[in-house]
Structure 1
Amino acid sequence: MFDNLSDRLAETFKRLKGHGKLSEANIADALREVRLALLEADVNYKVAKDFVAGVRERAVGQEVMKSLTPAQQVIKIVREELSSLMGGQAEGLNLIGRPPQVLMMVGLQGAGKTTTAGKLARMLAGMGKKPLLVPADVQRPAAIEQLKKLGAQLGVPVHDSDPGGDPVDICVRALGTASRLGCDALILDTAGRLHIDEPLMAQLERIKQKLQPGEILLVADAMTGQDAVNVAEAFHQRLGLSGVVLTKVEGDARGGAALSIRAVTGVPIKLVGVGEKLDALEPFHPDRMAGRILGMGDVLSLVEKAASAFEQEKAQALAKKMAKNEFDLEDFREQIRQIRKLGSLESILGMLPGAGKLKGMKDMQPDEKEIGRVEAIISSMTPGERAKPQIIDASRRKRIAAGSGVTVADVNRLLKNFTQAKKMMKQVSKLGGKRKGLKRLLASM
């Protein structure tokens, strides 16, 4: 998301930096390009107009005109205004009050509401909560079965809903289930429609009246652009939304929904779905997103991901093994698994400052399948073979290739690359105290 907008803004600011001094004329030219870039990104027309007016008012002031780096000052203002447009600061979930806290998921069909309910259950469990999933979408019986499968996969209890029952009664009875099981969070997966209609809204209003949810979260598809904003407006008028969950932001959405929803509805984006896996749900940080739009990366989010994915004790043990040149294929496989917890390589690159500007980086598509093949090859080895790759002869290589669904040449390539990597680690470790920084770098890798 935001790729096209980021490119357009980067080109505009590059031209702006070409001027030693800025005048109202060349600032006006740059902001005209910014406005066009926003409109192309499917940002609401009035939102784009107000945004540019706000930037212009600040950019033609003394703060910019007398600055030694006026172009950079303009970029700073644009970043601050972008962050403000999306809400300024992250707004967390309301989990305060007498348990069970009720979180009501609403939205149209196809936005990913049921999957998001499962992702939210996983997130709450990671925060020390004990959630209960409630299938209240009797319009679509498959949604009930889907939620039960997600619950089983996550180890989260699911209320036993009757496909022929009344959604309001199902939600009320779920309170008793939560009390009996000791659950302190209730996630209601309510019905959706292909479009907004009166029966749907009336049903949701009755659920709200009966359960008084602390959170009413609209699940909206980022790919639908301004339609998502219109849907948010309609739901907010009837239900009083507390937040929005934007799904499919990892796709090629132009970003208009993320940039417009808060300004048009006043409802904050609280969470974003960044992939299909159940751990691909993240808090939305407007300030960090503004940095990513302007090609400044999002190092804070990357650090947080790494802190949650990598175990400190394992990292320290690995550092010791690397220092002694005892790093084996079992360690390598463990590192692959921990890195994959961070998400796709493409998403990781997107968080690095300036990565999009590096030559060739834009068109580089990291081969996730290749990483999967490497892991499969190592997993097809015996513990002894992973510890001592040198014992893997021709017959063993043939067996490993057959077990992992690859060719013997693929196995040979992996073993050759691993041997070369170990030689490099040994050379670095010989540098001793003079190169402690390199050792720490290798350990972190």
Structure 2
Amino acid sequence: MQNSSVSGSKPSLSFWQIWNMSLGFFGIQFGFALQNTNTSRIFATLGADIDKLSILWLAAPITGLLVQPVIGYLSDNTWHPKWGRRRPFFFIGSLLASIAMFLMPNSGALWMAVFVLWLMDASINISMEPFRAFVGDKLNTSQQTGGFAMQTFFIGCGGVIASLLPTIFTNYLGVSNDAVNGTIPDTVKYSFYVGGAVYFLSVLWTVLTSTEDAPADMAKFEAERAANKGLVNAVKEILGGFFKMPKTMIQLAIVQFFTWVALFAMWVYTTPSIADGVFHATDAQSSAYQEAGNWVGIMFAMYGGVSAIAAFLLPWLAKFTSRKSVHLICLVIGGVSLMSIFAITSKEMLLLPMVGVGVAWASVLTMPYAILAGSLPSNKMGYYMGLFNFFVVIPQIVAGVVLGAILKNFFANQSVKVLMLGGACMVLAGLLTLVVQDDADKVDATSV
């Protein structure tokens, strides 16, 4: 299903054109970073038990499971002379996500926070999935790895700033970090307000500064779009894609499964692990627990910052080895780093394993998509990128269902052991990269 002749005919874009089309990911990651860093903290502050956290997080991956392939399918079958194909979804998703980010920290009850998490994640997914397809649409094979690396750079930068916001508000702006009467701290509230604004404005920049090319054969496109109308046809097409997946996509799905179990474990359980093991706090409404929440933000900022730098090194390394080799090494480094948190009792030393996690995160956001893009048909790029997200969210759903029970029944509610389990899964994912077949031309596929 290689389409090198099609993608190879696309003109090369300048650095700034790729910069503009990727900038929206800065805002998207603002949303995800605030969600990943603070959701367990918000749930715990509102009274959630530690062994219930993974179940409460299920709203996020289930939403992605439902939204991503649908949005991908719809964007493939969309064309507007002014808005193009993907940009309408960028804009609508960013508007809805910004509203949800203003609502999230004002949740007055646990059920409300879970509902808003669903709304926020659905909205972020509406924006994010078409961005992945956007690279496949716009860039030829020689620039695709660099395009995904640019996205990863902005993801890293957005993640750093968003993760640090509660600490910035606490230490430099004098905003209260206390959970007064069981309410969410003002530092978290203001962080989400800033995040909502940044999200919308960043995506708007990409919408206004980037263009999209009309289908080469508009008559054929219109005919296919007319044939695809209707709920029954849409569902048939979406489900039918499972049986037509390229071999490379199936192989990557196995790697993705264990990778995203690890990442889900990290996002859900780092805050309670660090609060208990380093700050010696289990009461989520205590000052020490909220201080731990801020420190987790600093830790996540570290891995985000490292990923932003590594994003531009990975394509260069892949040029001299292979994308598979780079992904294997990065995942093993990340997994070992995540497991090492068990032995660390100093908050400053906790930043060290985040360097390794950042290396892995950069590769997770770059290499699988770069490997996959070359094996997809150009007219279904959005759909298959959305379908590929199944192998991001299904492992999170599995993890959400089983990790709480494992924590309670096997780990005696010591959440740091879940981080160790996650690290082991990431190492396994790295080793499974050996089964992936990357058929793209080595020179073209790894050039920036």
User: TM-score per shorter chain, which class?
Assistant: under 0.3
Q: TM-score if structure 1 supplies the norm length?
A: 0.26
Q: Which has the higher contact order (CA 8 A, sep 6+)?
A: 2
Larger Rg: 1
More helix by share: 2
Q: TM-score if structure 2 supplies the norm length?
A: 0.26
More strand by share: 1
